[in-house]
Structure 1
Amino acid sequence: MRKQMKRLGVALALGSIVIVLTACGGGSRVKKPAELAPVTNQFDLQPVWSTSVGSSESFNFHPIVAGDAVYAASHSGNLVKIDLATGNKVWSVSVPERLAIGPGSDGRTTVAVSTKGMVYAYDDTGKKIWNVSVGSEVLSEPVVAAGVVIVRALDNRFIGLDAATGARKWTYQRQQSALSLRVGYGMLPINNEVIVTGFTGGRFGMIAIANGGLIWETPVSFPKGFSEIERLNDVTARPSIEGEIICAVSYQGRIGCGQARTGNLLWFKDYSSYTGTAQSSDMVFSANEKSYVTAFATKDGTQVWENTQLTYRDVGEPLAVGRVLLLGDAQGYIHAFSQANGDLVARIRHDSSPISAAPIAVGGLILVQSQGGKLAAYSPK
């Protein structure tokens, strides 16, 4: 997703007109970010290793973990495999074109998709094994699972490619909306069987990895307002899941949680977010365009707490881990909130560039990649 939606691209599906909204809260006036209040750290995130993978420019690059390795990329086309334990680079390749998104990998096949829609696949030694065009710009991260590479094109096509050969296995076509957000739409793979992802018009759904079939589709919100821009309410951020409960949030719409098997919503509430949701066993967390961080009970949507201390600091995607909620901001800080009451319990400075991608918790480590290109592993102490 572009730089925390400060410049939010909105493209007409049937034309070449691009509308740019400045300052996501409305209007062109830049909002002043809140000053950081002092925090007495109740725990520390001790650096274990760090490396540079290259700048993301204004894009939102996520690293991905597969097995004992981390895979990451940069806008210039640098694609790297990094040893999870040590931070040493196992291999590095140069993709021939520029990238707008991070890689996809299952630990055997790693793919990067160029801004022009060319998919490049590499084996686990870094050797290129195939490349194929999907015929459209791609802003969403690819998924590699169960021998299939799933690519979501900007023209609303989901394309399943054979991970070994690049041959097309299936295509699922969504109807184009009159107006939609020109951003990446996150895809959440579950058990190597399905992906859950958001759609335009406030809907999200589950798609089978094997054949691209739509399993269920549910509206979390509905368009409202008079102008086409007011009626935008796409589910752009990757949904979250914990146990049998799945949650999603739409831009200018609602947040809601429901049953993962059927998509039936248990509740929904008016809310707007482009950075998505994170879940604990009994709560769902999200941050709105003002960077207000809110916790809701997953069983009925009751608001548990709201923290406004990071107002207009352009916080990124959240991660719920242990007893805390972690979010980065546009100035390179990582903030830790108590899941129980929303108090800020820790803060560290990763670097000076925006952290828009969610941190990753794996093997006792917290991984963070900033838009400046610093990828680091931290150990909670």
Structure 2
Amino acid sequence: MRFTSKPMQQWLRATLVMSMAAAVLVGCSGNSRTHKPAELVKVSNQFDLSPVWSANIGSSESFNFHPAVAGDAVYAASNRGNLAKLDLKTGNKVWEVSVPDRLSIGPGSDGRVTAVVTTKGTVYAYDDTGKALWNVNVGSEVLTEPVVAGGVVVIRALDNRFIGLDELTGARKWIYQRQQTALSLRVGYGMLAIGNEVIVTGFAGGRFGMIALANGGLVWESPISFPKGFSEIERLNDVTAKPSMQGEIICAVSYQGRVGCGQARTGNLIWFKDYSSYTGTAQSAEMVFSSNEKSYVTAFATKDGTQIWENTQLTFRDVGESLAVGRVLLVGDAEGYVHALDQSNGEMLARIRHDSSPISAAPISAGGLILIQSQGGKLAAYSPK
């Protein structure tokens, strides 16, 4: 698609509204609260997360940094430009490098090449010994973590371009341009890599789709929600969070829109219902989970969207992205607590204090461990029991 710039007056107006809209999402980082968070209820732990190791990576400031796991290693970064490879089992640092500029988002890695993006839009790539391979400026701010898969580093720029770079040389292999919308949220839009063939991601305007890694072609695109309301902020309904996938079913949720699930191969929705979330979805075999702006955590039946339960005990605690693992749903909050909810009924089963800073990134299950990184920079592995 061809990108046509908007008149300056419209651009300035959209920028102003985007800034106002971004303020709506500040609560997810725990930096500014307009409501008093719910008091923690007493929990008799029926589920245990035993500490295995921890490391200080460095603060992500107000950004939402996720670690990346590839093989038996964890790759993590900080806003100040620290990038480290750690052994998954022990937490020992294999190598650590200093990127020449501050970073706006966490790393992407396939175990051979690790890529990070600076606040100035420069992509830096390193091999698996920590040696610098190449750097390329993409000419735009980047708030979405790169995906490294199928020999390609995929960069999603804030100006709606998807750029495929050769992972070994940094040469541009393809570009996919989304049409610029009049208004969209200034946040990262998560990308879910499926094998070495495609990525699934959300778009502005309540849509999500699948893009081929080989050539950047759009495989399919589906609407999950539609704008409604009168003001431009009311009509925002972007799919910003990374979609989730379990088996052949893929689920997504939009801000001020809907949550729904459909067939991964075609994108055809099986069901959808009104819901709003900027923390995305997590899935088990039979349920999909999400949390709204009030930090109500809700479970829906994957097959038809029936609401199974809703937990309101974490109201206004600014819960982050969640992970469904085993029989529990794990979710962090703005005070550094990690809560374990029973997937079957939403009962609070356990709680640990990971850190005193917000946990907005989803926990990761890898190698029998649960990895959690806080905005304060603590990365730790826990053994679930």
TM-score, with length taken from structure 1: 0.95
Contact 1:117 1:133 in 2 (8 A): yes
2:92 maps to 1:83: no
Contact 2:47 2:340 in 1 (8 A): no
Alignment of 1:139-218 (within 5 A): 139-218=143-222
Give 1:13 deviation, angstroms.
8.1
Which amino acid in 2 is paired with 1:83? D
Contact 1:13 1:177 in 2 (8 A): no
Identity percentage of aligned residues = 79
Alignment of 1:1-381 (within 5 A): 14-15=11-12, 16-17=15-16, 18-21=18-21, 22=23, 24=25, 30-381=34-385
Give 1:14 deviation, angstroms.
3.2
Which amino acid in 1 is paired with 2:107? P
Which amino acid in 2 is paired with 1:376? A
Distance in 2 (CA, whole Å) between partners of 1:89 and 1:310 is 35
Distance in 2 (CA, whole Å) between partners of 1:84 and 1:206 is 30
Deviations 1:77-100 (A, max 9, x none): 000000001100011101111111
Distance in 2 (CA, whole Å) between partners of 1:140 and 1:293 is 24
Q: Compared with structure 1, are the counterparts of its residues 29 and 148 closer, same or farther at alpha carbon in structure 2 (3 Å cutoff)?
A: closer
- Secondary structure of the residue aligned to 2:36 is coil
> What's 1:6 paired with?
none
Contact 1:74 1:102 in 2 (8 A): yes
Contact 1:240 1:246 in 2 (8 A): yes
Q: What is the aligned residue count?
A: 369
Q: Compared with structure 1, are the counterparts of its residues 358 and 25 closer, same or farther at alpha carbon in structure 2 (3 Å cutoff)?
A: closer
Which amino acid in 2 is paired with 1:317? E
Deviations 1:45-78 (A, max 9, x none): 1100000000000110000100110000000000
Which amino acid in 2 is paired with 1:14? W
Contact 1:57 1:372 in 2 (8 A): yes
Contact 1:201 1:234 in 2 (8 A): yes
Give 1:184 deviation, angstroms.
0.3
Give 1:24 deviation, angstroms.
5.0
Give 1:29 deviation, angstroms.
7.5
Contact 2:244 2:281 in 1 (8 A): yes
Deviations 1:125-183 (A, max 9, x none): 10101001111100000000010000000000000000010000000000011010000
Contact 2:153 2:166 in 1 (8 A): yes
Distance in 1 (CA, whole Å) between partners of 2:77 and 2:123 is 14
Structure 1 unaligned residues grouped into runs of 5+: 1-11
- Secondary structure of the residue aligned to 1:19 is helix
Contact 2:369 2:384 in 1 (8 A): yes
Distance in 1 (CA, whole Å) between partners of 2:48 and 2:266 is 40
Distance in 2 (CA, whole Å) between partners of 1:203 and 1:81 is 35
> Aligned-pair RMSD on alpha carbons?
1.4
Deviations 1:3-58 (A, max 9, x none): xxxxxxxxx983453532445599x9710000000000002111000000000001
Contact 1:25 1:289 in 2 (8 A): no
> What's 2:3 paired with?
none
Segments of 4+ moved more than 3 angstroms: 12-18, 21-26
Q: Compared with structure 1, are the counterparts of its residues 52 and 70 closer, same or farther at alpha carbon in structure 2 (3 Å cutoff)?
A: same
Deviations 1:95-121 (A, max 9, x none): 111111000000000011011110000
- Secondary structure of the residue aligned to 2:285 is coil
Structure 2 unaligned residues grouped into runs of 5+: 1-8
Give 1:226 deviation, angstroms.
0.5
- Secondary structure of the residue aligned to 1:337 is strand
> What's 1:4 paired with?
none
Distance in 2 (CA, whole Å) between partners of 1:353 and 1:100 is 18
Q: Compared with structure 1, are the counterparts of its residues 97 and 25 closer, same or farther at alpha carbon in structure 2 (3 Å cutoff)?
A: closer
Distance in 2 (CA, whole Å) between partners of 1:25 and 1:223 is 22
Contact 2:301 2:307 in 1 (8 A): yes
